[in-house]
Each structure stands twice: as structure tokens, then as C-alpha cells.
Structure 1
């Protein structure tokens, strides 16, 4: 009688599997593999080796707290002679004495998550079951049968493997780019991402069903959209937009997702304070990339928040140029969300590819603060009857804007409709470089084109369409606001209201130009400059240029970290009592953080980063702090506090030690804060050799 086969240990070949599955950054002390692709293990038996003539081996894989075969969370399969694609399978690669070399295959639609691998050994009717190994299974953009398959290898490097990126802010007239450390392969991040799914109300309500649905990137990305904000659950980020952040961290101060995810995990899944749109989007991007779903952060300039789903944004201004908040819908200076790449078998053909997902809590979807995934191709076609949340996303990029003025007697007059104001310069980081790629054409046809208007009508088929009267006085007067070329925070500068009288008649009017600080989401702050001219004559066929001086002393205490000032110009013709309105958002530039790398950039060899920033203000900076991080360069964040004041015009310099962990391109990300200069960002690309 043959001796019972006994499993002694397993070698999970971390290095080999990590390299072939593009998970080397996660495979240092565990097995992390991608579904639909074989991985290798070596099994060592005690006393004797495997004998095919007398031994039978069965393998059991299980995921979730209640694994069952019917739900796809458990599978049992026998050792076979060859690998079966599309199913759980095990086959022999080779045998050396008591060691058996095996290949384990998983189906491309298996649920992602933690798995237990057990082995049942049967020898002459005697059966023993051994716990063999644990592994983590991820989505696989390299596998053609996976719903997240992405054919282009450069795209996979950018949208799955790249641990750093660029997010665009500012205004569409002046695009500002900030660096971000996604860090999806940093220590502990994978466990935190899976715990995020386990904290979802869907998992808590029905763990078995939830785990079975984790085979579907549509489901996983929708759960993630809800869990990155904490509005309905024990999610990650608490959103705040009122500029009161004393009990947390100013959203503008974050430079990466890693610190946010670690804070959430360490606190026992307590909300992290505070987030705004780009922070929500960037953290979600980290989670999706970590789980294997290609993702990228998107910025939409002049982004509409359509609260009543009629695809019309109505903005009502009083005669002093002030927006009446109670009656007006919002246009954000910019708004960030993310896109995830996946097939959509739940939608009609043609709607695969990029899907818009917005974890910033704005409106509820099916009772929960989440948004998407919504097919970008469907948005472009005006097909808003597709799930999920297509009407809201369509309005963000393609709503029409109707401006009204409320007169002193309480009556309201329509000024004009703008069909090309919303959804400008939709932007994302370009593949393989730190430049902006304009993807507006993915979301909409060219403004004013027949195709664009047809898509709008299709999306808006149940609502009123306003006539496209851009300006009622276009044949008489044109207004424009021009700015100085160099507008740096701390400086005084001029803006100019320009009035063109293109008629052959003199125009008598009154003019008001007002500058106010503004948040990126459109919330206006106090005035910082105003000019009123009750009697202004514009000669026939002439141009008049009116300067408005904006002084640092007037905006210093009111400018928030968005560094934005909104200038409005309101003109009223005396004879007809007709109004004209022009506006422009101004972005004030922060000083540059200069970064110098000292030392030879090689793996496991200390480097020094020298950081310097000049105080451009007319007053000293107090409480200066540098925060530094970079995937593979630092172990967590490094914080350098400066105790002395930084005098006006002087340059502050400090140094920080780095220890590169692996070869290739890295990005060192820096944030500088002080009492009067916030959210100053800088970065430096470092190429590490062996």
C-alpha cells in the first residue's frame, strides 16, 4: 500500500510571478497575480514525491467569507496534463524528486480579491486536504478575454503601472499643472484598496453576492466611486469647500494618495479630512490602478453642475454684478473626475472604452453619492438613457448657459444664451510625458457644429431649448476683459475692460468693473477692486480701454488656495436700458519650487534633494513647511519644518534624504506651505539606474 502523500510546503516564486504578471512592486512578500493568466508554484511533499499512477490531486480556490461554486467564489479542479484557458486549472510543468512544478490558471472573469488555495491528495482511497497558499487576484489589462483589456502597451504603462502623474487646475485661460503621487504599489496600499471594498454597504449587506460581483469592473468601479467619499458609509474622504480646514488638512495641501489611504487605514476606517474634486479623483485613480483597472484623472474647465437635469444652467446676476446664489446653478471653474477603461457588455455595442466615474459627492445615484461608470462615447452621442448617470455627466460638459439680470424693480431680463461656455479644454496627462492632452473631442462634437447640436437635442429631448441668441447687441457693442502678461501672487497688477463700438452711432452707457476672489467651484469671495463709471460715451467705430488696478493689499487676506480672481464687467446702455456682461477668471501664479538632485541616482544608494523657494510677497512668511514624497524614493512622507521667518524677497533652501527602491523613472513631489503662501507645488523627475 502506497504511503499517503503529504504536502510539506509551497514555493510561490514571488519574483518570477511578479515579473510575468506585472506585479513585482506588490510581490515582495506575497503572491499577487492577474486573472486569466497562468502563474507558477512549486509544491514540496514530505517523505516521497508525487506519483501519477497512484496519486490524485485536486485543487480548491476560495475567495470571500462564504465561498460557493454557484457564485463563482469557489472552484475545485483536478490536476490535468495541459492548461485550460478560461477556467481554473492546474497542470504539471516538471518534477524533481519530492518537488512538483505546477502552473495554475484562472479564468479571465474570476472575482478579484484574496484567495485561499488548498490541495486535496488522494492515495488509494485515502484523502488529506492541505492549506497550500494564499494569493491575491487582480484584473488583467494584458489579457484579451478580460473586460479591462487594453491593447496598447504604452497605454498600460501609463494607466496601470505609472505611480505618478499630473493633474490640471487653474483656468482654461491659464492651465496650472500639479504633480500627484498615486503610489498604487506602495506598501499596504493593495490591502487598503481591498478593505475599501469590504467596508462597502453592499458587502456588509450581502458578502457572498458582493464578492461574486467583484468579477465585473463596472460593479467594482461603482462601489469604489461611492466609497472614496464618506457621505453614505465608512468611506475615505470628507469633502469640504468652505475654506475652514483647521481640524484637518487643506485639500490643496495633498500631494499624493498614499498618505490619505494610510491615514484611513490606520484610523480604523475613519474619514480623512478634507477632500475636493481632484483629491477624490486621484485617490480613486490609485485604487483602480492598484486593482488592475486602467484609469486616468480628467479636468473639465467651466464644468456645469446641473441640479434639475434640464441641461440648462441659469445664472442670475443683480445690477451690482453679484450672482444671486439662491436662484443660480453653478459653473465650476474646473472639475476633476476620472475615467476607467473597460468593456460594457451591459450597454449597446460601441460603448466600450473610457468610462467617466466621479467620486466627488454632488448628487445621489440610486440613493448613494456616487457617479458612473458612464460611457464617454455615449456622452458624445447624447445617449443619456445609458447607465450610469449619463445625464449628469453630459450636462457637466455640454449644458447651455442662460444669463439673466434681476433689475432694481425686481423684474428679470434675459441677457443671452451661451452654448459654448461649458466643457472647455477637457484635459488629462499625456501618455509617457508630463504634458496636457486635450480630450474634448472624446466628450463632444465641435462646438456649434450640426453634430453637437443634434447630440444636445437628443440628450435634452424632454426639456425646453432656449434660442441661440449669444448676444443681443452683437451688431453694436462687444465687451472683453484683457489681463497683464505676468500675474504673480503678491504683485499689484492691472486688468482692462475693453469696449468696442462697432456701430456708426455714439453709445452712451454706464460701466461697472468688479474683481472678487473666487473658489474653483464658483463660490465668490469679497471684492478686491471696483470701478464705476455712470456716464461713459463710446465714439462711433471706436475702442475704449478701461484699466482696473488690483492691489495685493486688497486681495491678500481673501485669496484662497485656488489663486483665482473673477473679474466681471457690466455695461448698461442709457437709452435702451439694455445690459451687457463679460467676465474672466484670473489665475495668480505661485513662486517656483526649485529642486536639485545631489548624488548618483542608483538603486539603494542615498540621494539628497535640495529644495528652494523664494518669498515673492512684501511681508515675511511664517510657519514654513516642506512636504516631500515620491513612490520608490521615500518611505512615506517627509516633512521639514522651518522655524525662522522667510523675509520678503529672500530664498529659503533646505535638503532632504532619499533612498531609491527600484530602477526606472520616479517623480519627487513637493508641497510648500506657510501662513501667507499655501499649496505651492513642485516636482522633479529622477531616473534611477541599477
Structure 2
């Protein structure tokens, strides 16, 4: 017997390194126990006396503190040997086994625990009771487990698990459908601070504040967790991680284009007592959410939708307005973004069907574009539901469906304020939907997973289904007319024959459905002339700092000469479609000859676009063409030109060894004939720098080059990516990266 006053418990070995390695969490840290549900882990408990099996060892496992209950699955009572009669209402049944290698005579107990595959994720406490004494056995974190077949996030492909859970580095695609670029993003989900940050994030959501017991219990479900994380990444409702800003100046924070990864943002949020970090835009929101989801164990990936619709009035039609000089002046509630980045998370959807048809990738979007059930979040929207047009399903399928498959209608705003329809376009929205390929940095096109091929019967059938399932919702908002309009538009049967003086949207335009035929109101009405087709051609790659040169090429099947009036406008544009200053306008009269192409040169000198484009993402080039002899049939062509940044490089040469200091070299040459002021560098990269490393460079004279060497302190082994951001008065946030392998 132990001496009087001596504890029955000698100590416990949590075997953190062994357990974490088995659970694929050792990259986070090995001094804390971090396990995945549905998978066993082992610890050793040493008593100061022999263990008598007639006197059970009780172990209470709980999450949620004082609110934990067996009925909600947040607490469970274990016993060795198992002599406990559990409540029939107990959920989330844990298991414990006494390993055969244990020495009961000496009190050396090797205990193997298995969290259930449906356990709520989060921080747990294990308290052991033996005879009349208690001991805090362990504090541990339980995560989702995509390696466990019983877990609702199970992904049956090791290469995909390595990419979508374990990979700390990614590519996010930006630009436009015709100018696609990739941006390196450091997810860094296995940074040692991430468990603390993510648990704090879950505990600060509005649902937790309202009912902490229900919130913690609901964390067994990745559907619920996905919605919570989507809401918490933005700051609209709940002091979440990121505050959005789509306009300059970015006072009190950093421009969204500055960021190269998630960790510096998440650390700043925690360090500043959970006040929102300034500032984010869609790719930043998505990148940060991807980091949190991967840490929690939900397979996920960022996805970019080029020509992404924002359908504010929820009628699956995007209205765009153009003045007669080609300049897009009229404000519309709707918009088409050059690109929009969201997230896909992998999970089962038993809430939608019993046959697993909606399982798999789900769209989650933390960018605060609108409320979902009263909170700024979006999804999870089953990708299969988006493809089929099942817009009545939760969550937010109709919103995402519009982003990838809304129809566009272009309107000419005449001088008297009336509208003339230019064209209806079923193919403009939802192009080249992109994600990083598994195991490489290549772009994978996943458009076919969101929509059937444009113009096919399947695609139009899905569109009609989407319209039909939205009908009840739209009727409640007095938008039934819009449903009829878009249904006919889908079938190609809509003809505008009359307009009001100042309509504000398609719903206010007087229309008549003609069932595929044109109703003749005048016996002498002539058919329209053959269409003038237009396209833009690059003369050279559009580079920031150089003149931009394009050709507008026109052609027609007409057999007669076509005198044309051509209005060209060039405007600065944000990636979300918001227009800035008009850079240049031109008006010309040219004649299009039969069976000939007409080429109109367009030149935009750097000196002309330098100031207007400083804080904008692309040039919107519009050409409005009218047949002088048939002016009632205008033609429109548009192009979004994204400028290539001048080159910058970062390299780390030689062998890179763990915990041995080395250097990175950054090289950049000023390509323009003016001084770059307020130049600075920021370097970052998980495993190479623990925090962003900032260097102020001063001014750069024309045509000069700098070579800057920066200290590197590798602290993790494996393949790591060094990233650099260069900022100045002329070139904003130019980026480069290089990959190195850190060896022991």
C-alpha cells in the first residue's frame, strides 16, 4: 500500500510524438496530443500501486466544459474494466482497452482510446478516477479524419488526401478568363499556433455565444462546422478574422494584394485580441478558410470561377448597361467579376438525400456577398446540386448556381434614357473554373463539374430546372415576371419589343414573349442585316510599364459594303467589375468590305494608363459598333486586359539544412523611365520564416537593379516555398516564389 498521503497516480505519458505521427499531426507539434476521430491512440498511466481489476479505473472524457453531456455526445464515461452501464441516450461512444503488455502488478497501465468517428471536434479533457482519487489525465485536440471510412469527411484517395489535407502550399488562380495567372499561397495549416487559433475561432462564433452546449455538440458535423468557419473568416457579424475592403485607401491595414499566406493574418487576429485584420478580398478569404479547414481535417481546395456573376436580385439574369459612346456608365445591382475565389470542402450530405447523390465536393464561400439564414456565410452547396440546377436545396445552391450559369443581357442606354437590347448571352458567365491539380502546380479545369457544356440541351434543361425551383421564392418577392422572362431567355425565345423611359432593371422593362417567332407590327419591317462579329487580338503581351497594343477585328457575311460607326472606350476596372476612371475613348467611322476583315488598332500608352490603373486590376476595353445604314442593330465586344507584372526573382542557393541559417536573394530591375518611390520587400514562407520579414528599400532610379540578401532560418524539414512581395509607388505588390528542400 502507498504511504499515507501519497497519490495513487504516479504520472502519465501521453506519447505525443508517437500518437501525433500515427495521426498525421506531428507537423503541428509533438508536445501536445492532437488526434483524429475514429482512430486509436495510446497513453501510459503509472500508478503507485498494483492495479486491482475489481476496482475499476474510471475515465471521463468531455469537451465543452460545464455544458458537456452524454446525451449531446460531448461527454462519455469510460471504465477499465468496462463495468459502466451507459445511458441509452448517450451519443459519441468512446472506447478504451487495457493493452496486454500492461503490468497490472506494478500499476503500469497501457491504455488505448478510440474516439468515435462522429465525435465533436475540439479540445477535450480526460480525468481519471481510481478509488477515491482523481487526476487530470490529458488535454487533447480531436480533429476530423479523412483516413477513416466511418468519418463523414472520408476521402478514399491517398494522393488527394495529401493534396487537400496535408499540403501547406497552394496556387490560387486569378486574372481573367483570357489572362489566367497563378498566385502562390502559403496555407501553413500545420503552424504550431494553428490549433489554438482554430479552437478560438470556433468558440467565437455567434451560435456558440447564443447556445454553447448546442454549438459544441454540433461540431460533430462538417456541414455545421463549414458554415461556422465560413461566417468567422469574414467580420460582418462576429468580429471574424478579416475585414473586407474593395476600395483604396487601405488605411489602418494592408492592401489585400499584399498577403501571400494565411498564418500572418491568423496570428495577427489572435494577437490583437480577435479584432478583424485589415484587409481581405475573395482570394484572401478563401486562402485563410482553406488553412483552417485543412487543420480541422476537412479536405478542401480553393476554386476560381472566371467571369463570375453576382446576381443581386436573384433572377438568374445579369443586366449590363452601355452608353452610346461605349462607356459603361449605368449602375446595376448585378455584376460580373473577372474572377471570384471560393472553397470546396469534401463531406457527406445525408441532410439532402439518403442515396449519397450529393456527397463529395461542397462549395463554401467566406467572402461576405450576402446573408444566409441571417448570417454572412455561404454553403455548403453541393456541387452535384449546382450541376443539376437543384436550386431549392440548402445551402445557397441558387446563389452559387447564378455565379456559374446566369444569363447576361446587354442594354444600350440611349440619350433619352430609354433602353435598347443589344444581346442576350448564355455563355458569358462561369468560364474556366480552376483549381490546383493534385500533386503539381498545374491548373485543373473543373468547369464540367459545375455546369454542362454551354448551349447543350442538358445545360438548358438544368437552367430551366433552376428557374422552376426558384419560382416560389421569386413569387414571394414579386419577381414572377422575371421567372417567365428568364425561362423564355433560356429557350432563346425572348424578343424585346417595347421599352419604358427609365427602367432600372430587366424586371421593369415592358416585354412580350413571342414563343420563338417575331410578331410583325409593321408589314414593311425588314429582317436585320447580317451580324457584325468582333474579336480582340493581342499585338504583344500586355505588360505593366509598357504600352498596351491590341487590334479590334471585325467581319461580316454581308455581301455589301457596311459603313460603321465605332466607339471604343478603355476603363480601369477592379477584379469585381467595379469601374474606375476612363483611360481613353475613340470614335471612328470605317467601312467593312464584303468577305474582308477590318482591323482597328488600339494603343494605350503607359503614360496614359499609369495613374488610372495604379490601384486597379484590369483594363475593360469596350467596342460599340453601329451600322450607319441600320443603326437599330448595335453590336458590342468587350475584353478585360490584365497586365503582366515586371519580373522579380527570389532564390535560396545551396544545401538548406534544418536550424542552420542561410540567405535568400531577391533581384528586381526598374523597367520604366521614372523613379520608383517607397520601395519595400516582404518575404515569407512556412518552415523558412516564422513571421513575415519586411525590408524598406527607399527609392529606385530608372533602369537600376537591386540585389538584396535576406536571412533565412529554416525550422521545418521538407519542401518549402519562399515568397516575396515587392511594393512601390508605381508597381503594387509584385510577387515571386521559389521552392527549396530543407534537410535535417
TM-score, length-scaled by structure 2: 0.89
Matches of 1:329 and 1:597 in 2, distance apart? 46
Matches of 1:251 and 1:678 in 2, distance apart? 11
Deviates more, 1:167-176 or 1:459-468: 459-468
Q: Does structure 1 conserve the Cα–Cα contact (< 8 Å) formed by 2:230 and 2:289?
A: yes
Q: Does structure 2 conserve the Cα–Cα contact (< 8 Å) formed by 1:384 and 1:390?
A: yes
Q: Deviations over 1:443-483 (max 9, x none)?
A: 01111111111111100123122253899968342111222
Indicate whether 1:106 and 2:106 are aligned.
Answer: no
Corresponding residue SS for 1:167: strand
Q: Does structure 1 conserve the Cα–Cα contact (< 8 Å) formed by 2:540 and 2:549?
A: no
Q: Which residue number corresponds to residue 302 of structure 2?
A: 297
Corresponding residue SS for 1:87: coil
Return the match for 1:634 from 682, 689, 694: 689
Indicate whether 1:149 and 2:203 are aligned.
Answer: no
Cα shift at 1:541: 2.0
Shift in CA distance, 473/217, structure 1 to aligned 2, threshold 3 Å = farther
Q: Which residue number corresponds to residue 574 of structure 1?
A: 628
Indicate whether 1:593 and 2:648 are aligned.
Answer: yes
Q: Which residue number corresponds to residue 204 of structure 2?
A: 199
Q: Does structure 2 conserve the Cα–Cα contact (< 8 Å) formed by 1:629 and 1:638?
A: yes
Q: Which runs of 4+ in 1 moved over 6 A?
A: 1-5, 469-474
Q: Deviations over 1:304-345 (max 9, x none)?
A: 000111111111111122324433510001000000000111
Q: Does structure 2 conserve the Cα–Cα contact (< 8 Å) formed by 1:80 and 1:89?
A: no
Cα shift at 1:27: 3.0
Indicate whether 1:496 and 2:551 are aligned.
Answer: yes
Q: Which residue number corresponds to residue 12 of structure 2?
A: 10
Indicate whether 1:459 and 2:442 are aligned.
Answer: no
Indicate whether 1:687 and 2:741 are aligned.
Answer: yes
Q: Which residue number corresponds to residue 518 of structure 1?
A: 573
Corresponding residue SS for 1:326: coil
Q: Which residue number corresponds to residue 170 of structure 2?
A: 165
Corresponding residue SS for 1:262: helix
Q: Does structure 1 conserve the Cα–Cα contact (< 8 Å) formed by 2:529 and 2:558?
A: no
Corresponding residue SS for 1:215: coil
Q: Does structure 1 conserve the Cα–Cα contact (< 8 Å) formed by 2:126 and 2:139?
A: yes
Q: Does structure 2 conserve the Cα–Cα contact (< 8 Å) formed by 1:252 and 1:561?
A: no
Matches within 5 A, 1:613-628: 613-628=668-683
Q: Which residue number corresponds to residue 476 of structure 2?
A: none
Aligned length: 681
Q: Which residue number corresponds to residue 184 of structure 2?
A: 179
Cα shift at 1:188: 1.2
Return the match for 2:657 from 584, 596, 602: 602
Deviates more, 1:652-661 or 1:220-229: 652-661
Q: Does structure 1 conserve the Cα–Cα contact (< 8 Å) formed by 2:57 and 2:81?
A: no
Corresponding residue SS for 1:622: strand
Indicate whether 1:659 and 2:660 are aligned.
Answer: no
Cα shift at 1:688: 2.0
Matches of 2:23 and 2:115 in 1, distance apart? 13
Q: Deviations over 1:517-560 (max 9, x none)?
A: 11100011112222111x32222222111112101111111214
Deviates more, 1:291-300 or 1:552-561: 552-561
Indicate whether 1:118 and 2:136 are aligned.
Answer: no
Indicate whether 1:26 and 2:81 are aligned.
Answer: no
Q: Which residue number corresponds to residue 57 of structure 2?
A: 57
Cα shift at 1:681: 1.0
Q: Does structure 1 conserve the Cα–Cα contact (< 8 Å) formed by 2:29 and 2:192?
A: no
Matches of 1:661 and 1:45 in 2, distance apart? 38
Return the match for 2:612 from 554, 558, 561: 558
| Gap regions ≥5 residues in structure 1 | none
Cα shift at 1:672: 1.0
Matches within 5 A, 1:270-289: 270-289=275-294
Deviates more, 1:474-483 or 1:182-191: 474-483
Q: Which residue number corresponds to residue 366 of structure 2?
A: 359
Shift in CA distance, 475/184, structure 1 to aligned 2, threshold 3 Å = same
Q: Does structure 2 conserve the Cα–Cα contact (< 8 Å) formed by 1:517 and 1:566?
A: yes
Corresponding residue SS for 2:236: coil
Corresponding residue SS for 1:224: helix
Q: Which residue number corresponds to residue 377 of structure 2?
A: 370
Return the match for 1:332 from 334, 337, 352: 337
Return the match for 1:411 from 418, 423, 429: 418
Matches of 1:666 and 1:601 in 2, distance apart? 10
Q: Which residue number corresponds to residue 74 of structure 1?
A: 75
Return the match for 2:259 from 235, 239, 254: 254
Shift in CA distance, 634/474, structure 1 to aligned 2, threshold 3 Å = farther
Corresponding residue SS for 1:387: coil
Q: Which residue number corresponds to residue 320 of structure 2?
A: 315
Deviates more, 1:251-260 or 1:2-11: 2-11
Corresponding residue SS for 2:188: coil
Cα shift at 1:259: 0.7
Indicate whether 1:39 and 2:41 are aligned.
Answer: yes
Q: Does structure 2 conserve the Cα–Cα contact (< 8 Å) formed by 1:628 and 1:669?
A: yes
Matches of 1:160 and 1:470 in 2, distance apart? 47
Deviates more, 1:190-199 or 1:466-475: 466-475
Matches of 1:561 and 1:117 in 2, distance apart? 53
Corresponding residue SS for 2:42: strand
Cα shift at 1:2: 9.0
Cα shift at 1:649: 2.1
| Gap regions ≥5 residues in structure 2 | 84-90, 472-482, 496-526
Q: Deviations over 1:552-596 (max 9, x none)?
A: 111111214554111100101122212100000111100222122
Shift in CA distance, 514/221, structure 1 to aligned 2, threshold 3 Å = same
Q: Which residue number corresponds to residue 429 of structure 1?
A: 436
Q: Does structure 2 conserve the Cα–Cα contact (< 8 Å) formed by 1:81 and 1:92?
A: no
Matches of 1:686 and 1:149 in 2, distance apart? 31
Matches of 1:388 and 1:287 in 2, distance apart? 20
Q: Does structure 2 conserve the Cα–Cα contact (< 8 Å) formed by 1:416 and 1:470?
A: no
Cα shift at 1:187: 2.3
Shift in CA distance, 144/32, structure 1 to aligned 2, threshold 3 Å = same
Deviates more, 1:181-190 or 1:370-379: 181-190
Matches of 1:180 and 1:49 in 2, distance apart? 54
Q: Which residue number corresponds to residue 492 of structure 2?
A: 468
Indicate whether 1:189 and 2:194 are aligned.
Answer: yes
Cα shift at 1:669: 1.6
Q: Does structure 1 conserve the Cα–Cα contact (< 8 Å) formed by 2:96 and 2:114?
A: yes
Q: Does structure 2 conserve the Cα–Cα contact (< 8 Å) formed by 1:618 and 1:648?
A: yes
Q: Which residue number corresponds to residue 94 of structure 2?
A: 88
Matches of 2:657 and 2:331 in 1, distance apart? 58
Matches of 2:587 and 2:206 in 1, distance apart? 56
Corresponding residue SS for 1:211: helix
Deviates more, 1:653-662 or 1:580-589: 653-662
Corresponding residue SS for 2:71: helix
Q: Does structure 2 conserve the Cα–Cα contact (< 8 Å) formed by 1:31 and 1:136?
A: yes
TM-score, length-scaled by structure 1: 0.96
Deviates more, 1:661-670 or 1:36-45: 661-670
Q: Deviations over 1:396-435 (max 9, x none)?
A: 0000111111111222111111111100000011111111
Matches of 1:325 and 1:184 in 2, distance apart? 44
Q: Deviations over 1:278-316 (max 9, x none)?
A: 011111111101111111111000000001111111111
Q: Does structure 1 conserve the Cα–Cα contact (< 8 Å) formed by 2:38 and 2:115?
A: yes
Matches of 1:376 and 1:192 in 2, distance apart? 29
CA RMSD of superposed structures (Å) = 2.0
Cα shift at 1:49: 3.2
Cα shift at 1:55: 3.1
